[in-house]
Structure 1
Amino acid sequence: MTDRCRARDFGLAPGIFAPGANNAITDVDGVAVGHVTLIEGDATRTGVTAILPHPGNLFAERVPAGLAVMNGFGKLAGATQLTELGELETPLVLTNTLAVGRAVEALVDWTLARNPDAVSVNAVVGETNDGRLNDIRALGVTRDQVLAALDAAVPGPVAEGCVGAGTGTMAFGWKGGIGTSSRLLPAALGGWTIGALVQANYGGVLTMDGVPVGRELGKWYLKEHTDRGDADGSVMVVIATDAPLSDRNLARLASRSMAGLARTGAAFSDGSGDYAIAFSTHAGVRRDARRRAGQADVADWPNDRMSPLFVAAAEAVEEAVLNALTMATTIVGRDGRTGRRATGHAIDLDALRAVLRAHGR
């Protein structure tokens, strides 16, 4: 089988805008990503991914943020305060469903250690259920591993596939994982950067840059009218931008990212929790002490110039999902529900190349 590679190595380049230097969420200046990957024994296949919006004290210099929920079958900690106040005061952590509590504890500890006057912390933790390959009931993720992911966060290239919170995930019946991508807007449209990172653990009928790959390779939701396994799951989408957006327009940006999931063939099924969080790193919209005291002017990109950012977000999310699939490797684990050995097969890249050639790619 062909070595794992990113979607662009196959000529898959969704959309009209060019990617950034790393084609990753970290192309937004200041954003850092860290992973802890847990592959232990024959049953633990899980991990943690941490996203830091900027290298400063996030609790003191909060970033505006918005949330979009397509289907709320999930355990997104911190969601209501994020929506109410429109800001992030901690990094974002992604992990598995039953590790959310420990991740919250770790984020609170991490934030309190850096802010001796803090008496309330809104830790934001997203999740997907990796129990098809991971013995999720064994509670393999610890507080210290969450702290390690936060401490490991760096800018630059981002590891993809079976890493961090994507270690045990599945997507469209194949091995899923972490994927990332970015888009650069031309100067005439603001010159902004939009980056996306996904924890892909959902299903439907896989489409890759318009090519019906799932149908061609014989794997899709409802093929047998009884197979729900390729649709249920969840997906967490994180979008970063350096555009000076209000929390209201960030919520709009997050909602448009769902178009990127739809283009991949997402079923948005009953058992899938589909969430997107968008934040802005622009210095002019940060909620620092001067802003909270009403002493700072606030930059705000106008509504009628948002459409190019909407397009870029959808494109970046679509490609991030494709990268999660093409970079993932086959993982053998244990189904957390049945206790039986389970295999998450990576999509066959040689077969994928043949499908793409047949469709003129």
Structure 2
Amino acid sequence: MAPVLRVLVVDDSAVVRQGVLMLLERVPGMAVEVASDPLIARQKMKSHRPDVILLDLEMPRMDGLTFLRELMREEEPVPVVVCSGLAGPGSELAVRALQEGAVEIIAKPMLGVGDFLRESRARLLESLRNAARARARLARRTPPVKAELEPPERPTDPLLTVTTDKVVAVGASTGGTEALRQLLEPMPPDCPGLVIVQHMPEQFTSAFAKRLNQLCRIEVKEAEQGDAVRQGRALIAPGNRHLRVRRTGGHYQVEVLDGGRVSGHKPSVDVLFQSVARAAGENAVGVLLTGMGDDGADGLLVMKQAGAATIAQDEASCVVFGMPRAAIERGAVDEVLPLGAICEAVRRRARQRARAS
């Protein structure tokens, strides 16, 4: 008999609590409790420790971000899925929550909560189950630290910026927001251009990119149609849009596309990696970071077959080892490295390809 997954819903909205309770109680193998704020949640956790918490961020008495920080200070933190509003301040707060240790984000609409929960049942269940599986990794995550060096002035005229002919393609899912910070923060302004897919709802990718842009020495932005892939820039796929790279002469640009899910996701890492294999071939480096499932594994193999260098994050530093494991099992990976070593490996691989060229 499969073990019961214990879920604690912490939300000051009675409508949300009741809707989630009714939805999850119908799922075999799930036990659900609710709390209207973190103080009540604390009391309930003393008698029944949950496997995963579904957490609102804006609540009376104690806000969700403060509660999340308290949870992450525990020796074995309970994994947290954030349920956040869609407004600008709400999306920025949700990105902060990811950097403080939350595993996933679920977007909460202002109206029609019941209909939303019914329509998003599969997404909600997947997020809760993914987070629960990630619990063994949470204690190993390092808190975000702002770079001590002041960011250098960036060129304002793109025509004056040297466009690199090297491309670094990165894919990540569960736990990837923190992994991406650790990968991008030490990148120098002359690093190769990066294109990134992070599985995240569309309402939050812009705030995520802006937050990284504040922390990093390179430019980080949500990708827009026709953006150039160039040195010192990282482009992040918008939520609910696929990202592809195409070559125009000696330069690279991105395409932001609609379409169906690929490998269960939109944006899909496989879509990005396959386009980079076609556009850049041996002039590319592919990196697959922490995440549930196997999105990116097939695409990384295509990149390797096209001559690209390929890197996967190791199990010990992953929140979830699903995506890297799938790529390793397919024979798609040249190097398996701890997260802290990947930045330098990317730069080394790009330099090797530059000398070969």
**TM-score of the superposed pair, with normalisation by structure 1:** 0.24
Higher helix share: 2
Which of structures 1 and 2 has the larger relative contact order (alpha carbons within 8 angstroms, sep 6+)? 1
**TM-score of the superposed pair, with normalisation by structure 2:** 0.24
